[in-house]
Amino acid sequence: MMTNEERIEERLIHAHERGYYEAAMKKIKSLEMLHPKMDRYKLYEMACDECKEEWLKENNNEQVVFRAE
């Protein structure tokens, strides 16, 4: 079983590999301002989830455009 730290580290490594690490870090800072008392691990999870969704949408759209050509 992974610790919270290991889970967050893995999520950030994947974000870096896919190119949305900076967006995730900005989202984390934004969420910290909006929810200052929220658990930090929850903030990181929320930010990574939102950025991953955006990344998946962008990449799915690119694949659809590529296939159509």
Domain that holds residue 49: 4-68
Closest C-alpha among 46, 11, 20, 51 to residue 32: 46
- Cα 53 from chain centroid? 8
The whole-model pTM stands at: 0.79
| pLDDT band at residue 63 using 50, 70 and 90 as cut-offs | low
| Per-residue model confidence (pLDDT) at position 69 | 47
Please provide the average confidence, as pLDDT, over all residues in the chain: 89
User: Does residue 49 carry a pLDDT above 60?
Assistant: yes
pLDDT at 62: 61
Q: What is the per-residue pLDDT across 19-41, written as a single tens digit (0 to 9) for each?
A: 999 999 999 999 999 999 999 99
From start to end of 2-64, where are the E strands? none
Q: How many domains is the chain partitioned into structurally?
A: 1
> What DSSP assignment string belongs to 5-68?
HHHHHHHHHHHHHHT-HHHHHHHHHHHHHH-TTS-HHHHHHHHHHHHHHHHHHHHHHHHHHHHH
